[in-house]
Amino acid sequence: MRKIDTRDFRRATRTTSREINRRIVLNLVREHQPVSRADLARRMEIGRGVVTSIIQELIVEGTIYEGATGHAARGRRPTMLYVRTQDRLAIAVDIRFSRTFIMLSDFAGTQIALESFETIFDPTELVEELVERIARILATHGATGRCEGVGLVVPGMVDPDSGRVLNSPQLAWRDVDIRDAVADGVGLPVYIENAPMACALAQMWLGQRGNSGDNFVYVTISDGVGSGIVLNGQLIRGYSNSAGEFGHVPLDPNGPQCLCGARGCWEAYTSNQATISRYLGRELVPLREGAVHPPTTLTIEDLIARARSGDDRAVAAIEATGRYLGIGLGGIVNALNPSQVFVGGEITGAWDLIEQIVRKGLHERALTRAAAATPIIPEQLGGYPRLRGATALVAAPHFAAPRVA
C-alpha cells in the first residue's frame, strides 16, 4: 500500500494497461522459459487473444523470440517463447582503488570479455582511458551495434539521477560528473551506482534463486563495510542516496578507533583492514591519505591462507571478525527483517571457518526466532558481483515494472 506523491506521480494514459501487461509477460517468459502463449494466458488469467497481440509486439521489438514447438499430451503443440539475452550486450565497469575492470557481457550476465588496468585517479584522464578501451573492446568483438549501455560501479556515494559521484573517499573524488563524460565519449546511455547497491542489483536481477518478494540485504565486507538494501523488489537508496551505511553502527563506544572518527563502529571490527590490524596487533590506519598506500602489504587473502596453514593467531583474528559480523548482522536483521542476507567480499573465502561463529553471533542478537533463522548466504568468490551489478544497471530498466501512479 503506497501513498501517491502528488508532487511526482505518473498518470495512466491510453497505453498504460498494455505497458503493464507487456512487462508482466516479459518477466513471466524470463522466469519460466520455455513457455507458450497459452501457458502465459493461464498464469495471467487473461484471454489468449491478448497474449497473442502482446507477444507479437515483443517479437517485433526484439525482446523475445519463438523457439521450437514443445510437446503436449493432447492437442496442438505449443510454440515455445524465450527472452533474447545472448546478443543484447552491455559494458560493465568496476572502478576500484587498485584496479579498474571492464567487462563485456550479455543481458544474462555471461562474460564475453574482461580486461583491467591500474586505476587512474584523475577523473578526466580516467574517462579518456575508459572511452578508448570501451570502443576497442566493442570493435574487437563486433559488438558496436549491439551494446545497449554502460554500467559504472564506483566506491562511494552516487546520485544516479544526476550521474554525479557525490563523495568517494577511496578515489578522493567529490562531486565528479563522470557519467555524462563517459556517455559523451562512447555515445551510449551510461548508468552509475555505488558498489554495494550494484551488488544488490546483481543479486536481484542476475542471482541464482528466484526470491519471492525480493527482500534482502547485500553486505559487502571489503576495505569498508557497505550494504545494499532491497525491499519489496526495490533498491532502497534513501533520501540523499546514502542508505545502507551500516558500517558505522556502533557496537562498542570503547571499541577500536574507526577511520570515520568514532569508536567501535561495526566496520572497525569487520573490514579487511580491521581483521589484518587485529592480527598484527595494531591500530587501524587510513587506507589512503593523499594516495599513500597502506603501510602493510599483508592482504586478507594472505591472512586466510595463513589461517588455513595452521597460524593460530590468523585463525583467531578471522574468527573474531566472524563473531562481530554475526552481531552486526543481528542488528540488520532486527532492523529490516529481510528474508535473507547475502555477504560479499574477500572474507567469504574463509566462510567454512567462520559460518558457525557468524550464526552464533546472529542468534545472540536476533530478537525473534524468525529473525535468527534468516539465511546468511556467502557470495561465491570470483563471481565479480560488482561487474554483474554494472550489467544489471543496463539490463534491469528493460525488465522493471513500469512506473505508475
Partner DNA sequence: GGGATTTTGTTCGATCACAAAACTATTGTA
Partner DNA sequence: TACAATAGTTTTGTGATCGAACAAAATCCC
Residues that bind DNA (CB under 7 A): 12-15, 17-18, 21, 36-39, 46-56, 69, 72-79
Q: Is 257 in the site for its own copies (CB under 8 A)?
A: no
Residues of this chain, 189-218, that bind its own copies according to CB under 8 A: 204-205, 210, 212-215
Residue 221 three-state SS: strand
> CB of residue 224 vs its own copies: minimum separation in angstroms?
11
Q: Is 252 in the site for its own copies (CB under 8 A)?
A: yes
Instruction: Select from 1, 4, 104 the least CA-distant residue to 404.
Output: 4
Instruction: Select from 19, 31, 134, 36 the least CA-distant residue to 85.
Output: 31
Please identify which residue in 47, 49, 67, 233 interacts with its own copies, judged by CB under 8 A.
Answer: 233
Show the beta-strand stretches assigned E in 169-224.
173-176, 190-194, 216-221
Q: Which is nearer to its own copies, 172 or 236 (CB)?
A: 236
C-beta separation of 318 from 353 below 8 A: yes
> CB of residue 385 vs its own copies: minimum separation in angstroms?
17
Q: Is 396 in the site for its own copies (CB under 8 A)?
A: yes
Q: Is 319 in the site for its own copies (CB under 8 A)?
A: no
> CB of residue 21 vs DNA: minimum separation in angstroms?
4
Q: Which is nearer to its own copies, 163 or 264 (CB)?
A: 264
What's the sign of the alpha-carbon dihedral 232, 166, 117, 106? positive
C-beta separation of 398 from 30 below 8 A: no
215 binds, among DNA, its own copies, none (CB under 5 to 8 A by kind): its own copies
Q: Is 334 in the site for its own copies (CB under 8 A)?
A: yes
Burial class from Cβ neighbours inside 10 Å (0-12, 13-18, 19+) for residue 188 reads: middle
Which residues partner with 369 through β-bridges? none
**Cα separation, 335 vs 337, whole angstroms:** 6
Binding footprint of its own copies, residue count (CB under 8 A): 89
Q: Which is nearer to its own copies, 48 or 293 (CB)?
A: 48
> CB of residue 69 vs DNA: minimum separation in angstroms?
6
Q: Is 331 in the site for its own copies (CB under 8 A)?
A: yes
**Cα separation, 262 vs 254, whole angstroms:** 10
Q: Is 5 in the site for its own copies (CB under 8 A)?
A: yes
> CB of residue 402 vs DNA: minimum separation in angstroms?
12
In angstroms, how far is the first alpha carbon of the chain from the final one? 12
> CB of residue 7 vs its own copies: minimum separation in angstroms?
5
36 binds, among DNA, its own copies, none (CB under 5 to 8 A by kind): DNA
73 binds, among DNA, its own copies, none (CB under 5 to 8 A by kind): DNA
Reported as type and span, the H/E element at residue 314 is: helix 312-336
Q: Which is nearer to its own copies, 7 or 76 (CB)?
A: 7
Q: Which is nearer to DNA, 66 or 128 (CB)?
A: 66
Residues of this chain, 162-181, that bind its own copies according to CB under 8 A: 167
**Cα separation, 213 vs 232, whole angstroms:** 5
Instruction: Give whole-number Cα distances, 201 to 89, 112, 224, 270, 272, in Å.
Output: 17, 20, 19, 23, 23
> CB of residue 232 vs DNA: minimum separation in angstroms?
23
What's the sign of the alpha-carbon dihedral 248, 250, 251, 256? positive
Residues of this chain, 102-131, that bind its own copies according to CB under 8 A: none
209 binds, among DNA, its own copies, none (CB under 5 to 8 A by kind): none
Q: Which is nearer to its own copies, 72 or 335 (CB)?
A: 335
371 binds, among DNA, its own copies, none (CB under 5 to 8 A by kind): its own copies
The order of strands in the sheet holding 89-95 is 111-118, 99-106, 89-95, 147-154, 190-194
**How does DSSP classify residue 293?**
P
